[in-house]
Amino acid sequence: MFRTLRRMAVGLLLAMAVAGPAHADDGYRLWLGSAGGNASVTVEGNSPTLILAADELRRALPANTPPIRLARVKDAGLGNEGYAVRRSGSTLVINGQTDVAVLYGAFALIRHVRSGGDPAQASLRSTPRVALRLLNHWDNLDGSVERGYAGQSLWDWWTLPDYRDPRYTDYARANASIGVNGTVLNNVNAKAESLSAPYIAKAAALADVFRPWGIRVYLSARFSAPIELGGLKTADPRDPAVAAWWQAKADEIYRAIPDFGGFLVKANSEGQPGPRDYGASHADGANMLAAAVKPHGGVILWRAFVYADSDPTDRAKQAYAEFQPLDGQFASNVIVQVKNGPIDFQPREPVHPLFGAMPRTRLAAEFQITKEYLGFATHLAYLGPLFAEALDTPTGHVTQGNEAGQTVADTLTAVSGVSNIGRDRDWTGSTFNQANWYAFGRLAWDPTLPAQAIAREWAAQTFGPDARVIDTASAMMMRSREAVVDYTGAFGLAHLFSSDHHYGPGPWIDDLKRPEWNPVYYHRADRNGIGFDRTRTGSNAIAQYAPAIAARLARPETTPPELLLWFHHLPWEWRMADGRTLWEALARRYDRGVAEVMAMRRDWATLKGRVDPERWAKADTYLAIQTREAKWWRDSSLAYWTSLNGLPLPQGMAAPE
């Protein structure tokens, strides 16, 4: 009996030794890792933010790190948020003009060390390229999250404002570590109640927790709140009583939250109320709200995501048609928030034509970090390349001082990311989804960072210094988004998702209430061809782009192949640059997408024992699901296309199962 027990104990120890990292990791600590350091840090003064920065450094960096000194300095080149980290004699000095800049410098040093850099050699200097870097939570007051796949809302409205869950602090730490400096707490499909006194108090409690971390709170506002909350008969922005109501509401909020960021507004879009209900323009609506927050230094983020029955020819044209003519009419504290593409967060879209087309208006780019159209929390799709690709796209517009032409990033005052965070232990529903939150913050700070470098940096901090793990995980990540594009529909096909939930294939669907909700509206495939003609012979959406870009998009031969069917309707027999027919090329992309997912799973298998068992097993299971579902996408899509075009599958491809 005793011997058996002893044998079992020895066996267990051996098993633990072979299994590599023995402890399970549930992902709660994100890329911040566990406490284990004991670095020596000195701070001047007693600013709460500097004390937090010192704690982070002590917690993360080992005792043999050179002594670190945190100090505010005058260095105009750093602006309000930039930092400098450098060696001075035997000390490492972290400088910034403000406390929060020093905090960013502390996190930069931690990132440097945790991703393999030598602390003694650290020489880091960086200022953010975009002023406002915001998460947008689509969190409802009942705890549900619109398009959220990581559990209930993080905000426990029921126990706020009294109970401040320590998790709110961990949320703020994670965001500060990547430079996020604002958070919109509630869904753009907003309830008026979110601006009522009890909810203002709850938001104020969160703002108190976030403040030392440099994060401001914003709220989504329902345009008709003066009616629902205030008992007014109208929400017409030109009515003085309406303006007075908003002014009083803003004053009330700023009494509770002196550094309140402002309002995010979805107006006249998908059934939401707005100024158009009263014959007023988006500028009228936005400016009226802007006047209310202006005395307090707040901004209005006014979304350009609208589509109305007024122009049924092409949904992709509607935001530009409605907003571009208003350029120059928006108040200086209005920021028009534009989705990265003209439709809706597809696996690939061209950039929105409004970027660069409103030179007298401040703009924000809105990305979706939550993967509404890329397999929810289950599929592995690293969005770093998607964000970077959009930010780096030339707008074709040339401005004074920017004769080479602007990129999308050059046009921005703000970047917003629709959050993928919920109450799951790992915050985002899977380990790899954490990388999308991370990449969003890093790129919002510096849109020129390469997505691959961000992937490696994230992997090193998340999984530890094992080079095999970093190489393999980051390589998987870098191929993952293109795999999703391939198995959901390559070459610029878009919106082929099933029904309202947007999970799984549905290119055949054509019975939804509005024509532009139906996949057939987007692919326009029939016996002869496929794709949406957005040239002069079709909707002419290309005319919304700068002339140089529009000229290239006018012809399929000069359109980037990955956007071919977004802009052109072509015969199935169309010859691609490599001589294959469009049909063959498209069919093979579906196959490639499936093959890529299978390859990712094989690569992940080689890391068994090198990644802690809990996270390894979950990712492995999810990759198995993704393999099954990539095949489902491929087989059902191919079956549908062949039912239309009657063409055989390219040689060597098996018939759909």
* Residues near ligand GCU (CB under 6 A): 146-147, 188-189, 266, 270, 305, 344, 372
Among the listed residues 81, 372, 457, 629, the single catalytic one is: 372
Instruction: Give the nearest distance from C-beta 353 to ligand GCU in angstroms.
Output: 18
Cβ at position 303, least distance to ligand GCU in Å: 7
CB of 506 to ligand GCU, least distance (A): 14
Cβ proximity to ligand GCU: between 269 and 462 the closer is 269
Neighbours of 654 (CB within 10 A): 9
- Tell me how far CA of residue 357 lies from CA of 19, 308, 353, 416, 547, in angstroms: 56, 21, 7, 19, 11
> Do 445 and 128 contact (CB within 8 A), yes or no?
yes
Query: What one-character DSSP code corresponds to residue 354?
Result: T
Which residue, 97 or 340, is less far from ligand GCU as judged by CB? 340
Max Cα distance, the chain (Å) = 87
Nearest to 370 by CA among 422, 408, 319: 422
Going across the sheet that includes 41-43, the strands are 41-43, 68-72, 91-96, 83-88, 124-126
DSSP state, residue 367: E
Two tokens at 588? Answer: 């093979």
In the complex, the smallest distance separating the C-beta of residue 449 from ligand GCU, rounded to whole angstroms, is 26
Query: How does DSSP classify residue 574?
Result: P
Radius of gyration of the chain (CA): 26
Tokens 């782009």 correspond to what residue?
A: 545
CA angle 16, 22, 26 (to 5 degrees): 140
Q: How far apart are CA 91 and CA 72, in angstroms?
A: 16
Residue 395, phi then psi, degrees to nearest 5: -85, -15
Residue partners of 441: CB distance under 8 A and separation at least 6: 133, 175, 177, 178, 179, 180, 417
Catalytic status, residue 372: yes
**Contact in structure between 458 and 431 (CB atoms under 8 Å):** no
Phi, psi of 281 (to 5 degrees): -95, 170
Distance CA 187, CA 196 (A): 15
Q: Which lies closer to ligand GCU via its Cβ, residue 78 or residue 418? A: 418
Q: Exactly one of 25, 344, 424, 533 is catalytic; name it.
A: 344
Cis omega (within 30 of 0) on the bond before 237?
Answer: no
3-class DSSP state for residue 643? helix
| 3 state SS of 95 | strand
Query: Residue 331 Cβ, how far from ligand GCU at the closest point, in Å?
Result: 23
Min CB(17)–ligand GCU separation in Å: 49
Shortest Å, Cβ 61 to ligand GCU = 40
Catalytic, out of 251, 270, 311, 573: 270
CB of 344 to ligand GCU, least distance (A): 5
Q: Which of 118/142 has CB closer to ligand GCU?
A: 142
Active site residues: 270, 344, 372
